[in-house]
Amino acid sequence: MLLETRSLDAGYGRFRALFGVDIRVDAGECVAIIGANGAGKSTLMRSIAGVLPNAPEMILHQGEPIGALSAAAILQRGIAMVPEGRRLFPSLSVEENLLIGGQKRRGNGQWTLDSIYALFPILREKRSMPGTALSGGQQQMVAIGRALMSNPELLLCDEISLGLAPVVIRDIYAALPRIRETGAAVIVVEQDITQALRVADRVYCLMEGRVTLSGTPAELTREAIHSAYFGGHA
Amino acid sequence: MIWLDTIVQGILLGGLYALFATGLSLVFGIMRLVNLAHGDMIVLAAYLILVLVTGLGLSPWLAVLIAAPLMFALGWLLQRVVLNRVLGPDILPPLLVTFGLSIAIQNALLEGFSADSRRIPNPDLEGASVALGPVTVGVMPVLTFASAVLVIVILNRVIYGTPLGRSFRATSDDPVTAGLMGIEPMKVFAVATGIAMMVVTVAALYLGTRANFDPAIGPARLIYAFQAVIIGGLGSLWGTLAGGVIIGVAQTLGAAVNPEWQILAGHLAFLLVLLIRPRGLFPRARD
């Protein structure tokens, strides 16, 4: 098993957003986390990425406790994150945004500037522009490329389709199979259930900080998802 | 011709103020920290150079090469041990801590060196001058200005052309996301303060060789540095040089009219720029 959370409680100060969340991710797997606004999806991502500190044993990477490690230390272990809202660095160009993602890269993996430009050709044309001057979809490409530059074995994608047009979302998700070809596992946080079910090997549904449903897309019925997503009965 | 000479002298004096201000600008630009002890750190570095020159018989130029890494280490430690603990959304704690540091440095220097004025001996260049077309200028003021330009060129190369500089800019933009890139903001801040203290050492060399100094003059240097940074626009190093030159020229012009107006003229120029361009001459887009 690549990553596991065990009874993960997390929050912000006195406010708790997650209550005993258990998920697991195997090597090379694509796991989708679905749930409504405020369900705790981003808190789960931020906890795994080391942005929110936790008790060490609440998050295990290859069996080792990593819950209390810093974001920098988590990246060194091969877990990279595409944060919600892209969060590109405004004072860096597109290329510099990509380069800074690889500044602490692990070993000699396959992701380089050239392979990122091959994945998202438009970025080569825009390489000298400030990252924040790009369209939303292009910014998302930079954010994904920036995370890939560290050669991760687990990529955390937090709401990568949020605020984007359907045609742009399709382009972004078209890159996912090529990312998985490298052997990397992916956790995708999505509010778009159809999109999540299309790309994921396994799905977890969160509601009010708790896992209310899990399984493979084939196992999950529309009614069960509706009930787990919104509560009550379909 | 006198006015041309006055303006040239003012421009060269601006180089000294730019050196005072560059370290302050760098630290503010990266971590939004206003170091109220910055002027006292310049004076501390001047005393360090003085000790190396008078105690070990070194030339001031060699002394500054020894003092600069020592000041880097001091800045790095200061940031790691003290300032990183008080950085946060509230700007008051770092202001209070650096204000306290300012007082502590002044009193420590007073205890160690007394209130007597000192000067770093520099017999080779002290009175040397050179003709620049129709005006004659001192070699030390020219070296001061050239050093300011060189320091800014080097810092800009570091900031815009190296991975360290990328880390500086990314951390300045968004320290949390910088953490996701494997950057540890607290370490970046410590390196930035270390570099600022190396610039402070260069400033101290020219402060101490061109005029007398004593433990109490730090706060006035801080004010000149602040004015240069604010006139230039927060976070812009070339703007800081422009700010230093404006204050320098205003001071020499003021002094030419009436020697008592030198300092006042600098402050009035600062207020005038602030009235016309409240964000400074070359503000960074996001500040």
- Best B164, B180, B183, B287 residue to mutate vs chain A (most A CBs within 10 Å): B180
Whether B282 is covered by a domain: the verdict is no
Q: Judge whether A64 and A4 are in contact, CB under 8 Å.
A: no
The rounded distance, in Å, linking the Cα atoms of B10 and B15 is 9
Domain range enclosing A165:
3-85+153-230
State the CB neighbour count (10 A cutoff) for residue B259: 8
CA–CA min distance B163, chain A (Å): 7
Residue B279 has pLDDT above 90, yes or no: no
> Does A49 contact chain B (CB < 8 Å)?
yes
Sign of the CA dihedral with B165 first, then A90, A184, and B184 last: positive
Whether B23 is covered by a domain: the verdict is yes
Chain B residues in contact with A49 (beta carbon < 8 A): 180
Q: In this structure, what CATH number is given to the domain that contains residue B246?
A: 1.10.3470
Q: Judge whether B152 and B14 are in contact, CB under 8 Å.
A: no
CA–CA min distance A98, chain B (Å): 10
Whether B24 is covered by a domain: the verdict is yes
3-state secondary structure chain B: CHHHHHHHHHHHHHHHHHHHHHHHHHHHHHHCCCCCCHHHHHHHHHHHHHHHHHHHCCCHHHHHHHHHHHHHHHHHHHHHHHHHHHCCCCCHHHHHHHHHHHHHHHHHHHHHHCCCCECCCCCCCCCCEEEECCEEEEHHHHHHHHHHHHHHHHHHHHHHHCHHHHHHHHHHHCHHHHHHCCCCHHHHHHHHHHHHHHHHHHHHHHHHHHCCECCCCHHHHHHHHHHHHHHHCCCCHHHHHHHHHHHHHHHHHHHHHCHHHHHHHHHHHHHHHHHHCCCCCCCCCCC
Whether A146 is covered by a domain: the verdict is no
Could you read off the pLDDT tens digit of each residue along chain A, which spans 234 residues? 899 999 999 999 889 999 999 999 999 999 999 998 889 999 999 999 999 988 999 999 999 999 999 999 999 999 999 999 999 999 999 999 999 999 988 777 789 999 999 999 999 999 999 998 999 999 999 999 999 999 999 999 999 888 888 888 988 999 999 999 999 999 999 888 888 888 999 999 999 999 999 999 988 888 888 888 777 654
**B236 pLDDT band (50/70/90 cuts)?**
confident
pLDDT tens digit sequence for B130-144: 888 888 888 999 999
pLDDT tens digit sequence for B70-107: 999 999 999 999 999 999 888 899 999 999 999 999 99
Residue B121 has pLDDT above 80, yes or no: yes
> Does B166 contact chain A (CB < 8 Å)?
yes
Whether B222 is covered by a domain: the verdict is yes
CA–CA min distance A225, chain B (Å): 32
CA–CA min distance B167, chain A (Å): 7
The rounded distance, in Å, linking the Cα atoms of A234 and A39 is 18
Q: What is the number of residues in chain A?
A: 234
Whether A28 is covered by a domain: the verdict is yes
Whether B286 is covered by a domain: the verdict is no
Phi, psi of A219 (to 5 degrees): -80, -25
CA–CA min distance B193, chain A (Å): 20
Mean pLDDT of chain A: 91
Q: How many domains does chain A have?
A: 1
Residue B287 has pLDDT above 60, yes or no: no
> Does B177 contact chain A (CB < 8 Å)?
yes
Tokens for A60?
């295990």
Whether A90 is covered by a domain: the verdict is no
Domain range enclosing B18:
2-276
Q: How far is CA B93 from CA B3, B33, B82, B98, B254, in A?
A: 46, 10, 11, 9, 37
The rounded distance, in Å, linking the Cα atoms of A211 and A197 is 17
B183 contacts A100? CB cut-off 8 A: yes
- Residue with structure tokens 């077309």? B133
Q: In this structure, what CATH number is given to the domain that contains residue A45?
A: 3.40.50.300
The rounded distance, in Å, linking the Cα atoms of B69 and B82 is 19
Q: Taking residues B16-40, what's their average pLDDT?
A: 93
pLDDT tens digit sequence for B158-192: 999 999 999 999 999 999 999 999 999 999 999 99
Q: How many domains does chain B have?
A: 1
Q: How far is CA A89 from CA A113, A131, B63, B176, in A?
A: 17, 7, 40, 11
Whether B249 is covered by a domain: the verdict is yes
Whether A201 is covered by a domain: the verdict is yes
ipTM: 0.90
- Best A51, A79, A103 residue to mutate vs chain B (most B CBs within 10 Å): A103
Whether A130 is covered by a domain: the verdict is no
Whether A8 is covered by a domain: the verdict is yes
Identify the bridge partners of residue A205 per DSSP, sorted by sequence position: A34, A213
Q: Judge whether B217 and B103 are in contact, CB under 8 Å.
A: no
Whether B285 is covered by a domain: the verdict is no
Nearest to B169 among A72, A89, A103 (CB): A89
Give the helix ranges, DSSP H, for chain A.
41-49, 71-76, 94-101, 113-119, 122-125, 136-148, 166-174, 176-180, 193-199, 222-230
Whether B284 is covered by a domain: the verdict is no
pLDDT, residue B284, reads 65
pLDDT tens digit sequence for B239-258: 999 999 999 999 999 999 99
> Does B34 contact chain A (CB < 8 Å)?
no
Whether A195 is covered by a domain: the verdict is yes
| N-to-C CA span, chain B | 41
pLDDT, residue B96, reads 96
Whether A163 is covered by a domain: the verdict is yes
The rounded distance, in Å, linking the Cα atoms of A132 and A88 is 6
A50 contacts B183? CB cut-off 8 A: no
pLDDT, residue A157, reads 95
